[in-house]
Amino acid sequence: MHNPRLTILGCFSASPKANAHPTAQLLEMKGHLFLIDCGEGTQIRMRQQKAKFSRINHIFISHLHGDHFFGLIGLISTFGLMNRQQDLHVYGPNGIKEIIQLQLKLSKSYTQYQIHFHELESLAPQIIFEDEKLSVETIPLHHRVYTNGFLFKEKIGERKLDFEAAKNHKVSHTYFSLAKRKKDVVNLDGKTIAYQQITLPPDEPKTYAFCSDTSFKPDIVHQIKNVNLLYHESTFLEEHEDLCFKTKHATAKQAGIIAQKAKAKHLVLGHFSVRYRNLEKFKLEAEEVFSNVTLAKSGLTISIN
Amino acid sequence: MHNPRLTILGCFSASPKANAHPTAQLLEMKGHLFLIDCGEGTQIRMRQQKAKFSRINHIFISHLHGDHFFGLIGLISTFGLMNRQQDLHVYGPNGIKEIIQLQLKLSKSYTQYQIHFHELESLAPQIIFEDEKLSVETIPLHHRVYTNGFLFKEKIGERKLDFEAAKNHKVSHTYFSLAKRKKDVVNLDGKTIAYQQITLPPDEPKTYAFCSDTSFKPDIVHQIKNVNLLYHESTFLEEHEDLCFKTKHATAKQAGIIAQKAKAKHLVLGHFSVRYRNLEKFKLEAEEVFSNVTLAKSGLTISIN
């Protein structure tokens, strides 16, 4: 299984512009393709990235500000036009179901596939999706409206086959999957081989934390401790900290502090206000407190490791 | 006053793609800048055309299919972010108010400017906007949901000054506006000058008919008789007439027949299905019955004369 990969579709705040797309991200993890937020025009960005629309079964919406969800109804309609059959799960704040269903009703465009709305209202972290390979939990944030970030956590996987060792120990390939699941096996000579002899420890499970939009909220640190990749909003630079207070956003430096306190491996900054021409300043500001910083950019793909 | 001008922002049906934008048009007529339909991403097209957002006070939505209105909430929000103060008028089918207001409410983004919703439900043509210079009336169409086209009609204007004649007749410029309003005036020698001597007849009032989406509906012909510019949808070519029947759309040839019967001066075709690679066929098909045909294209501006 590959490392998870995050693709930025849009990373600017407020109104969409030709070269400043609102928030949307694709996360490929353990065979899933998750869509996180869906600003206006997200489906066009997805086409540009040649994303397989049919692979998206779960959409996570952080909050009901337009730059994070105005593209959702269009994408849901497009799924319908594509004759989608499989169920779709949408996770987002209370009210999201009403918004989508009202538009589908008035346009007489009820979808032939089923949409399951998972409406959120808890102020505490909760697991909202889980299977045998990963879990997704909310990260309660602090913004002008009810907002959640999302923490995507791989579960520890099977041990990995040491092909060379298995060959040397004369273990038939029919036993490989057993050994990977920590069972000792019998080789072609009838001898018992401990699973540790022919397998290696599993990959470290990877984690991704998406935190947008929010004011500086250090109490999320314990939840995202040691996260492999942290996306944290940085709408403003320190020089506009007063605007953060008013609009409930964060600065690049504050994002850096969160990354540093959480001992994150890698920080991606985004949700830039379009007032700034030189985004490099965001990187410099966060680097004052945290060393591994990347600026989000439409089309950028980051391997999570 | 200039001739009215139509700018195509988008002219494809169904889902937006990077190079196939859904329906939206800007009509500049008698000092107004009208927006007609507003598919997803329209505000980005407007920026690309350098349209003055603040000049738009009236938005006309033909029907509640996504490719004609999913961009409206984003534009309304952007007006808010731009700190718009002047009122906005939105004309569209019943339900449009609920859709917009629900989203503004849930995102706690009530606008500081006032939005007047003019919800339509009549099946007969009605005048929905009028001032001293023009009127706008609905053209009831036939589609899968309640749909109106819109007929924009200039009123006959003032007579035009014949500057050379006015000079020759020694008429002071302070009398020009009186003469343009058909009043005889007194010249510098104290002699009465008939207004006809120093003015020319006013320009012929121009008309624009927007007809999308609709199946072939010849009973609109009497309403749009002699229209200067007719935009008529042509989702399909004749080879797919069966799809027209099913989806309540028209072919290029049917659009040509409407233009020919209405004795329109100029026909613009649009709302093309993305199934076609060669749009030139639409032009050829309409030209079988009507000679002055243009294919809509994002960014195309047409002078109405």
A19 at interface of B, judged by CB pairs closer than 8 A: no
d(CA A297, CA B33): 35
Report the residue of A15, A62, A274 to disrupt the B interface, i.e. the one with the largest count of B CBs within 10 Å. Answer: A15
- Chain A residue at shortest CA distance from B101: A99
Our CA dihedral for B137, B139, B143, B145, rounded to 10 degrees, sits at: 30
Based on the fold, state whether residues A192 and A224 are members of the same structural domain: no
Asked whether B38 and B53 are in contact (CB, 8 A), the reply is: no
A74 at interface of B, judged by CB pairs closer than 8 A: yes
Share of chain A above pLDDT 90, in %: 95
How many Å lie between the alpha carbon of A264 and the closest alpha carbon of chain B?
31
- A41 conformational bin, left if phi > 0, alpha if psi -120 to 50, beta if neither: left
DSSP string for residues in A104-122? HHHTT---SS-EEEEEE--
- pLDDT surpassing 80 at residue B1: no
Based on the fold, state whether residues A10 and A90 are members of the same structural domain: yes
Residue numbers in the known binding site of B are 63, 65, 67-68, 143, 213, 271
Based on the fold, state whether residues B120 and B188 are members of the same structural domain: no
Which two tokens mark B136? 């706008």
Among residues A206, A207, A247, A253, the alpha carbon closest in space to that of A232 is found at A253
Which A positions 38-67 lie with beta carbon below 8 A of chain B? 40-41, 43-44, 47-48, 64-66
Q: What pLDDT score was predicted for residue B285?
A: 98
Based on the fold, state whether residues A53 and A175 are members of the same structural domain: no
Based on the fold, state whether residues B191 and B241 are members of the same structural domain: no
Among residues B284, B281, B286, the alpha carbon closest in space to that of B232 is found at B286
- Structural domain boundaries enclosing A176: 160-200
Q: What pLDDT score was predicted for residue B109?
A: 87
d(CA B283, CA B293): 6
pLDDT bracket for residue A1 (50, 70, 90):
low
Q: Considering chain A, what is the average pLDDT of its residues?
A: 96
Asked whether B162 and B199 are in contact (CB, 8 A), the reply is: yes
Based on the fold, state whether residues A238 and A89 are members of the same structural domain: yes
Size of interface A-B (CB pairs under 8 A): 100
Based on the fold, state whether residues B120 and B254 are members of the same structural domain: yes
d(CA A214, CA A249): 5
Share of chain B above pLDDT 90, in %: 96
CATH assignment at residue B279: 3.60.15.10
Among residues B47, B46, B96, B49, the alpha carbon closest in space to that of B73 is found at B96
A43 closest CB neighbour out of B16, B65, B144: B16
Among residues A143, A174, A200, which one ends one of the domains? A200
A10 at interface of B, judged by CB pairs closer than 8 A: no
- pLDDT surpassing 70 at residue A276: yes
- Chain A residue at shortest CA distance from B65: A107
Report the residue of B15, B49, B108, B213 to disrupt the A interface, i.e. the one with the largest count of A CBs within 10 Å. Answer: B15
B107 closest CB neighbour out of A16, A66, A77: A66
pLDDT bracket for residue A249 (50, 70, 90):
very high
Backbone angles phi, psi at B194, to 5 degrees: -65, 140
* First-last CA distance in chain B: 12
Based on the fold, state whether residues B76 and B144 are members of the same structural domain: yes
Residues on chain A touching B47 (C-beta within 8 angstroms): 17-18
Q: What pLDDT score was predicted for residue B77?
A: 96
- The per-residue pLDDT for range A223-248, each reduced to its tens digit, is 999 999 999 999 999 999 999 999 99
Asked if B44's CB is within 8 angstroms of A41's CB, the reply is yes
Residues on chain B touching A18 (C-beta within 8 angstroms): 44, 47-48
Asked whether B287 and B256 are in contact (CB, 8 A), the reply is: yes
Residue numbers in the known binding site of A for Zn(2+) are 63, 65, 67-68, 143, 213, 271
Q: What pLDDT score was predicted for residue A18?
A: 87
Based on the fold, state whether residues A84 and A193 are members of the same structural domain: no
Asked if A95's CB is within 8 angstroms of B64's CB, the reply is no
Q: What pLDDT score was predicted for residue B2?
A: 81
Q: What pLDDT score was predicted for residue B18?
A: 87
Report the residue of A67, A106, A117, A143 to disrupt the B interface, i.e. the one with the largest count of B CBs within 10 Å. Answer: A106
Among residues B175, B200, B225, which one ends one of the domains? B200
Residues on chain A touching B99 (C-beta within 8 angstroms): 102-103, 106
Among residues A162, A140, A163, A164, the alpha carbon closest in space to that of A150 is found at A140
Based on the fold, state whether residues B29 and B81 are members of the same structural domain: yes
Based on the fold, state whether residues A109 and A190 are members of the same structural domain: no
Give the number of other Cβ atoms within 10 Å of residue B173's Cβ: 10
Residues on chain B touching A71 (C-beta within 8 angstroms): 40
Based on the fold, state whether residues B133 and B261 are members of the same structural domain: yes
Which two tokens mark B199? 């003015």
Task: Provide CB contacts within 8 A for B250, sequence distance 6+.
Answer: B214, B215, B216, B232, B233, B234, B235, B236, B244, B258
DSSP string for residues in A27-93? EEETTEEEEEEE-TTHHHHHHHTT--GGGEEEEE---SSHHHHTTHHHHHHHHHHTT--S-EEEEEE
Structural domains of chain B, count? 2
- pLDDT surpassing 70 at residue A264: yes
Our CA dihedral for A266, A34, A150, A66, rounded to 10 degrees, sits at: 110
Our CA dihedral for B242, B245, B246, B251, rounded to 10 degrees, sits at: 70
Share of chain A above pLDDT 70, in %: 100
Report whether the peptide linkage leading into residue A184 is cis, meaning its omega lies within 30 degrees of zero: no
